C-alpha cells in the first residue's frame, strides 16, 4: 500500500477508504511542515496550519482533476494557507505588498562574529528561515521537496522567470554571507 | 562575448546556458580568481542546500488529523442544520395552528350544556366525532385542494433552498480547487 502512487491513493480515498488518506499525510507532512515553519517562523502555527491544509485538501479531493501532480496541487494549498495566516497575523511585510524586485540583505541579519562561530549547515538552516516568506518557500520547494521550477511557479502562481530570479537571489545572498565569513576556507 | 554576472553564474550552475555560452563562462572562470571564488561559493551553497533536513511534526500528528477528518465527515454542516431546523419548525407550527383551529372550532360548535349533562366519556366521544368531521371536511372537495396547494408550496420552497445550498457547497469546493 505504501508504494502506491498519489493518484492511486486518492482514487482509493474517493471510493470511501478515508483511512488511506493517512498514507498521503505521512508522505507529505514533514516536507510541508518544513516549508510552513520557514514561512511562518513559528513551529506551533506551522503545525496548526498544516492540519488545516490537509483538511482542506481532503474536502476538495473530489474536485482534484489530476491535471497537475497532487504534490503541486497540495503545495499550492499549503502556500496560500500560509499567506492567509500571515495576512491574518498582520505580518505581511513583503508578500503582498511588493513585487519580485523587493530587496533583502541577509548580511545585515548577522554580525561578523556570529558568522564565524556557526558551522555552515547551521548557518544555511538559519539563513533560509531569515529569508522573506516567498524566498524561503521557493528554497524549500526546490531543494527539499525536489520540485521543478515549473511546478513551483504553478504552486505559487508566479511566472517561471520570477521564480528563477528569486531562487538565484536567495542563493546569491547566502553565497555572499559565506564569502564574508571564515567558513569560506571550507571551500578550499 | 557575454558579460559574466551573478545571473549568468547561476544559469551556468543550473546548466541553463547554451554550449557556446558555457564555454565562455568556463574560460572566464579559468582566467579570474575572483570569479572562480564566487562560483565555488555558489556551488558550495547549492550542494549544501540539497542536504537540508526536513523538520518533523509531532508524533501524534497523523492520528490527530485523521480523527479530525473522520469527525468532520459525520457532522451536518451548519447551513444544512439551520435549513432542516427551520423547515421542521415551520411544519410543527403549521400543525399546531391546524390543531388549535380544530379545537377552537369544536369548542365553539359544541352545546353549552356538555359539562353539565353528559359524562366525561360522552364529551370525549363528541370531541372525537368533531375531529373526524373536521378532518373529513378539510380533506374533501375544496379543502383537499387547499391543503394540497399549501404542501406543494412548502415542497417547492424547500426544494429551492435545498438546491441553492447544494450550489453554494459546490462553489465552496471550487474555491478549494482554485487555491
The pLDDT of residue A125 is 84
* Together in a domain, A57 and A111: no
The SS3 call for residue A180 is helix
Cα–Cα distances in angstroms (integers) from residue A105 to residues A177, B77, B143, in the given order: 10, 48, 83
Domain boundary among A55, A88, A121: A88
Mutate to test the interface with A, among B12, B43, B54 (most CBs of A within 10 A): B54
Residue-by-residue pLDDT tens, chain B, 179 positions: 788 899 999 999 999 999 999 999 999 999 999 899 999 999 999 998 998 888 899 999 999 999 988 887 666 666 677 777 887 888 888 888 878 877 777 766 666 555 555 567 777 777 777 777 777 777 777 777 887 888 888 888 888 888 877 776 665 554 444 44
- Per-residue pLDDT tens digits for A112-150: 555 555 577 788 888 888 888 899 999 999 999 889 999
Report which of B7, B5, B1, B15 is spatially closest to residue B35, judged by C-alpha positions. B5
CATH number of the CATH domain containing A178: 1.10.10.10
Nearest CB among A55, A172, A187 relative to B40 is that of A187
Looking at the complex, report in whole angstroms how far the Cα of residue B46 sits from the nearest Cα belonging to chain A: 7
Cross-chain Cβ contact B37/A168 below 8 Å: no
Q: Cell numbers for B162, please give them.
A: 435545498
**A1 belongs to a structural domain:** no
Range of the domain at A81: 6-88
Q: Residue A164: pLDDT above 80?
A: yes
* Together in a domain, A119 and A81: no
Report which of A89, A88, A63 is spatially closest to residue A76, judged by C-alpha positions. A63
CATH number of the CATH domain containing A17: 1.10.1740.10
The pLDDT of residue B43 is 92
How many distinct structural domains can be found in chain A? 2
CA distance A106 to B54: 22
* Together in a domain, A70 and A133: no
Looking at the complex, report in whole angstroms how far the Cα of residue A70 sits from the nearest Cα belonging to chain B: 12
Is some CB atom of chain B closer than 8 A to the CB atom of A115? no
The SS3 call for residue A169 is helix
- In terms of CA atoms, which chain A residue is nearest residue B7? A168
Interface size between A and B, measured as CB pairs under 8 A = 116
CA distance A122 to A118: 6
**A95 belongs to a structural domain:** no
Quickly count: other Cβ atoms within 10 Å of residue B100's Cβ. 10
The pLDDT of residue B59 is 93
- Per-residue pLDDT tens digits for A19-63: 899 999 999 999 999 999 999 988 999 999 999 999 999 998 888
**A78 belongs to a structural domain:** yes
Q: Cell numbers for A49, please give them.
A: 496550519
* Together in a domain, A43 and A77: yes
- Per-residue pLDDT tens digits for A170-185: 999 888 887 877 665 5
Q: Cell numbers for A106, please give them.
A: 541577509
CA distance A78 to A140: 12
ipTM: 0.80
What single string gives the DSSP state of each residue in B14-48?
Answer: TT-S-HHHHHHHHHHHHH-HHHHHHHHHHHHHHHH
Q: A134 vs A108, which has greater pLDDT?
A: A134
What single string gives the DSSP state of each residue in B41-97?
Answer: HHHHHHHHHHTPPPP---TTHHHHHHHHHHHHHTSPPHHHHHHHHHHHHHHHHHHHH
Cross-chain Cβ contact A121/B174 below 8 Å: no
* Together in a domain, A169 and A126: yes
Phi, psi (degrees; rounded to nearest 5) at B59: -60, -30
Amino acid at each position: 500500500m505504501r508504494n502506491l502512487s498519489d493518484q492511486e491513493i486518492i482514487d482509493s480515498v474517493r471510493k470511501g477508504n478515508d483511512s488511506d488518506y493517512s498514507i498521503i499525510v505521512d508522505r507529505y507532512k514533514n516536507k510541508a511542515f518544513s516549508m510552513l515553519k520557514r514561512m511562518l517562523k513559528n513551529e506551533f502555527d506551522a503545525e496548526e496550519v498544516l492540519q488545516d491544509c490537509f483538511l482542506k485538501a481532503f474536502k476538495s479531493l473530489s474536485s482534484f482533476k489530476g491535471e497537475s501532480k497532487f504534490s503541486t496541487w497540495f503545495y499550492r494549498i499549503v502556500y496560500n494557507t500560509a499567506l492567509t495566516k500571515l495576512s491574518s497575523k498582520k505580518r505581511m511585510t513583503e508578500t503582498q505588498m511588493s513585487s519580485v524586485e523587493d530587496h533583502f540583505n541577509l548580511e545585515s541579519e548577522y554580525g561578523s562574529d556570529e558568522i564565524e562561530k556557526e558551522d555552515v549547515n547551521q548557518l544555511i538552516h538559519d539563513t533560509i528561515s531569515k529569508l522573506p516568506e516567498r524566498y524561503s518557500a521557493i528554497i524549500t520547494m526546490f531543494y527539499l521537496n525536489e520540485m521543478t521550477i515549473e511546478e513551483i511557479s504553478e504552486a505559487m502562481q508566479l511566472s517561471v522567470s520570477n521564480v528563477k530570479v528569486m531562487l538565484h537571489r536567495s542563493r546569491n545572498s547566502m553565497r555572499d554571507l559565506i564569502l564574508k565569513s571564515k567558513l569560506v576556507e571550507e571551500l578550499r | 562575448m557575454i558579460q559574466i554576472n551573478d545571473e549568468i553564474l547561476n544559469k551556468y550552475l543550473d546548466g541553463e546556458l547554451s554550449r557556446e555560452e558555457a564555454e565562455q563562462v568556463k574560460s572566464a572562470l579559468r582566467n579570474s580568481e575572483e570569479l572562480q571564488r564566487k562560483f565555488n561559493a555558489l556551488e558550495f551553497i547549492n550542494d549544501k542546500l540539497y542536504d537540508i533536513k526536513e523538520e518533523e511534526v509531532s508524533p501524534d500528528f497523523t492520528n490527530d488529523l485523521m480523527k479530525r477528518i473522520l469527525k468532520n465527515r459525520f457532522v451536518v454542516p451548519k447551513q444544512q442544520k439551520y435549513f432542516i431546523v427551520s423547515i421542521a419548525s415551520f411544519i410543527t407550527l403549521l400543525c399546531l395552528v391546524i390543531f388549535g383551529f380544530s379545537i377552537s372550532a369544536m369548542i365553539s360548535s359544541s352545546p353549552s350544556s356538555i359539562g353539565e349533562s353528559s359524562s366525561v366519556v360522552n364529551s370525549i366521544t363528541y370531541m372525537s366525532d368533531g375531529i373526524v368531521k373536521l378532518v373529513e371536511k378539510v380533506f374533501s372537495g375544496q379543502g383537499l385542494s387547499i391543503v394540497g396547494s399549501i404542501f406543494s408550496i412548502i415542497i417547492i420552497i424547500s426544494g429551492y433552498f435545498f438546491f441553492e445550498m447544494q450550489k453554494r457547497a459546490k462553489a465552496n469546493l471550487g474555491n478549494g480547487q482554485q487555491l
